[in-house]
Homo-oligomer: A and B are copies of this chain.
Amino acid sequence: MTDTQKLAEQLLAGERRALARAITLVESAREDHRATARELLERLGHSGRQAVRIGLSGTPGVGKSTFIEAFGMMLTEQGLRVAVLAVDPSSARTGGSILGDKTRMERLSRDPNAFIRPSPSQTHLGGVARRTREAVALCEASGFDVVLIETVGVGQSETVVAEMCDLFLLLLAPAGGDELQGVKRGIMEMADLILVNKADGDLKPAATRTCSDYAGALRLMRKRPQDPEGFPKALMVSALHEDGLNTAWEEMSALIEWRRENGHFDGRRQAQAQYWFEQEVRQGLLARLDTAAAREAMALAAKDVASGEKTPTAAAGEVLAALKDN
């Protein structure tokens, strides 16, 4: 039995260390690791196992870690196995990484039915996307029932996460007054469920108002074909007091159920697979610029462009011709 076969079998048997090793493998940029990762994914591709993939977005301060810990614990108490991954294109820049500090989720990280994986440090969102997608597939093959994919509210990471999820949650904190403007319209349109966290203590009235503001805003949005009546929805939760989490999970389950029955669940997964296929092709083509020879040719041509010796179009034509010959 080859090492890859063995890893696949351990992973299918639900061994956590095998899963962790497999994720390390798909995160690697080394060419031999990539080849092994492809072989592994190919082997696991027909496991037939499917988790509910839930994307979770929220800016720092809304209580994402507390929510994930409380929500994750609630799910494992119901006998479900929960994996938590993160997409954080900023981690390479800041040096930190979300979920990096597992102590923020002390209980969940010790739970045998939970698996938490911090985001890898990557500069390139395309690379982050592929690795996360592959990590999701590994978690599914490993028998997890729910995969939570966390992201921070920056740049395009929401789009990346939404394109690999069955459900997209937006976590918000209560705010005073006119806070609708703080959330980008595009992110609101992705959300299946808006959860206003910290609906406890002093903040309860503000949470109620914020929740009702968002519920109103959601009602004004055009109904999407993939939604039953009443969705997308805004709900209040308190991760701290573990309030409203079960209701939120029931709403998610009902939505998933409806989408499965109406063909939207599979339809979305198919559309996502096609989307990632096209992204992979585009990125694969652009990767041809990522060799030492190509970078050198680009730098030389860029000089001629800056000096005005060549037009951008002419210089680009020469570089493209050189790339074709090699």
Contacts and interface: CB of A to CB of B under 8 A. Distances in A.
A279 B316 CA distance: 9
B41 A285 contact: no
A314 B273 contact: no
Interface in A256-285: 270-271, 273-274, 276-282, 284-285
Interface in A303-326: 305-306, 308, 311-317, 319-320, 323
Nearest to A323: B285
A181 B306 CA distance: 37
Given A181-B181, A281-B319, A286-B285, A130 B313 contact: yes
Contact of A277 (B181, B274, B281, B301): B301
Interface size range on A against B = 35 or more
A106 interface: no
Copy number in the complex reads 2
A310 to B, nearest CB: 8
Most B CB contacts (10 A, CB to CB) among A38, A273, A276, A323 go to: A273
A313 B42 CA distance: 10
Main SS of the interface on chain A?
helix
Contacts of A317: 38, 280, 284
A307 B181 CA distance: 41
Interface in A92-125: none
Nearest to A137: B311
Given A137-B311, A271-B306, A273-B311, 15 more contacts: A38-B313, A42-B314, A45-B311, A130-B313, A178-B178, A273-B308, A274-B305, A274-B306, A274-B312, A276-B312, A281-B289, A281-B319, A285-B286, A285-B320, A286-B286
